[in-house]
Amino acid sequence: DRDVPEGMIFIPFCYVEAAANLLTNPALDPDGKIPEFKFCAARISAVESVAAE
């Protein structure tokens, strides 16, 4: 997606089958207990091949 700046990734987290929330930062706001979804470190690496489903 050309709208995502270089050095940044975007993961849609509204789909249950993707389970992206399992990858997000577990930190919570100390007062509201709201999850920190906007900032999370990530490491990206190339995949040699994808298994057929």
pLDDT score, position 1:
62
The DSSP symbol for 28 reads B
Task: Determine, yes or no, domain membership for 52.
Answer: no
Q: Rounded to whole angstroms, how far apart are CA atoms 1 and 40?
A: 19
Q: Where are any strands of DSSP class E within 1-53?
A: none
Overall average pLDDT of the 21-28 stretch = 77
31 band by pLDDT with thresholds 50, 70 and 90: very high
Task: Determine, yes or no, domain membership for 53.
Answer: no
Q: Rounded to whole angstroms, how far apart are CA atoms 36 and 40?
A: 8
* Among 4-8, 15-19, 32-36, the least confident range: 15-19
| pLDDT, the chain, mean | 79
Instruction: Please state the domain count of the chain.
Output: 1
Residue 27's nearest CA partner among 18, 35, 19, 16 is 35
Task: Determine, yes or no, domain membership for 38.
Answer: yes
Task: Determine, yes or no, domain membership for 41.
Answer: yes
Domain containing 2 equals 1-47
Task: Determine, yes or no, domain membership for 43.
Answer: yes
Task: Determine, yes or no, domain membership for 7.
Answer: yes
Task: Determine, yes or no, domain membership for 32.
Answer: yes
